[in-house]
Copies of this chain bind each other. A is one copy, B any other.
């Protein structure tokens, strides 16, 4: 499969079979995006930050870490990671978020709508979208619990590789929120691989 590009501020659906590798790339550097996953054919099973936090005993995930479903099943394993810092705390950006955080009253491209559009064949509605795995997003938690969002650590061509532990319906976005991306929104690229290539 060739490299596919998600334009800045957009999203797409990726069916990912168990055992396949999803490589998510930051082509230009400094760009984050959202990954949401449902079990193929069953929208009642979804990628859960709360279960992953519990079983991993951590809030930051990188190479070797397993991401779990709300039904406590392994969904994805991070098998390689050039970046090492991702966020799993923040809900995807939405029209309401842009109004509250940026004062934008009209429509603004947002990850919730992009995820629902990508998964409309599964009838995923906004209230069914769980907290995304915000790849390359750099949300730092201080010891007192305060969160600061800094620019992603990803440089041009950096990637994170996920192995599917079950058949999945994935939504992947290139986030349009400037504050998460250290600058104007840019594209995200991806490809599906049969095996993890030599490093």
Residues on A close to B: CB < 8 A? 44-46, 48-51, 53-55, 57-60, 70-72, 89-91, 94, 96-97, 99-101, 125-127, 131, 141-148
Contacts and interface: CB of A to CB of B under 8 A. Distances in A.
19 contacts: A44-B127, A50-B89, A50-B90, A51-B97, A53-B89, A54-B90, A54-B97, A55-B100, A55-B101, A58-B144, A59-B147, A60-B144, A70-B126, A71-B126, A72-B94, A72-B96, A72-B97, A72-B100, A143-B143
A176 to B, nearest CB: 15
Contacts of A50: 49, 89-91, 131
A57 B146 contact: yes
A143 B143 CA distance: 6
A180 to B, nearest CB: 10
Contacts of A126: 70-71
Main secondary structure of the interface of A (DSSP, over half): mixed
Contacts of A146: 57-58
Contact of A53 (B60, B100, B143, B147): B147
A72 B94 CA distance: 9
Contact of A91 (B44, B54, B97, B101): B54
A147 B57 contact: yes
A34 to B, nearest CB: 11
Contacts of A53: 89-91, 147
